[in-house]
Amino acid sequence: MDIPGLPARRAARKLIDAVLRRGETLDQAGHNAVQGLAADSDKALARAIAGETLRWLADLDALIDSATAQILPDDAKPRAVLRLMLAQWLRLGTPPHAVVATALPLLVGGPKRLAHGVFATLTRRGAKLPEAPSLPAAVAARWGERSGAIAAALAVPPPLDLALKDWTATGEWAERLGGFSLMPGHVRLPRGEAVERLPGFAEGAWWVQDLAASLAGRLVGTSGSSGRALDLCAAPGGKTLQLAAAGWSVTALDLSAKRLERLGENLSRCGLAAQVVVADALAWEADGAFDAILLDAPCTATGTCRRHPDVLHRITPTQIREMAELQQRLLERAARWLAPGGRLVYAVCSLEREEGEDQAARIALPVDPIRSDELPEGLVPTSEGWLRTDPGMLAEAGGLDGFFVGRWQAAGQ
Q: In what order do the strands lie in the sheet with 338-348?
A: 275-278, 249-254, 228-232, 290-296, 338-348, 403-409, 387-389
Of 274, 269, 271, 204, whose CA–CA distance to 239 is shortest? 274
Torsion of CA 351, 23, 161, 354, to 10 degrees: 20
Whether 299 is a known active-site residue: answer no
**Among 233, 299, 305, 349, which one carries the catalytic annotation?**
349
User: In angstroms, rounded to a whole number, what is the distance separating the alpha carbons of residues 292 and 229?
Assistant: 5
> Distance (Å, rounded) from C-alpha 218 to C-alpha 185?
10
- For the chain, state the CA radius of gyration: 23
**Cα(170)–Cα(173) distance, integer angstroms:** 5
Q: Is the peptide bond before 236 cis (omega within 30 degrees of 0)?
A: yes
- 189, 177 in Cβ contact below 8 A? yes
What amino acid is encoded at 71 in this protein? Answer: I
Give first-to-last CA distance, the chain, whole Å. Answer: 75
| Angstrom distance (rounded) from CA 28 to CA 48 | 16
Contacts 24+ apart (CB under 8 A), 304-308: 304/349, 304/401, 304/402, 305/150, 305/154, 305/351, 305/391, 305/402, 306/153, 306/154, 306/156, 306/157, 306/158, 306/391, 306/399, 306/401, 307/158, 307/401, 308/25, 308/26, 308/27
Beta bridge partners of 232: 253, 295
Which of the residues are catalytic? 349
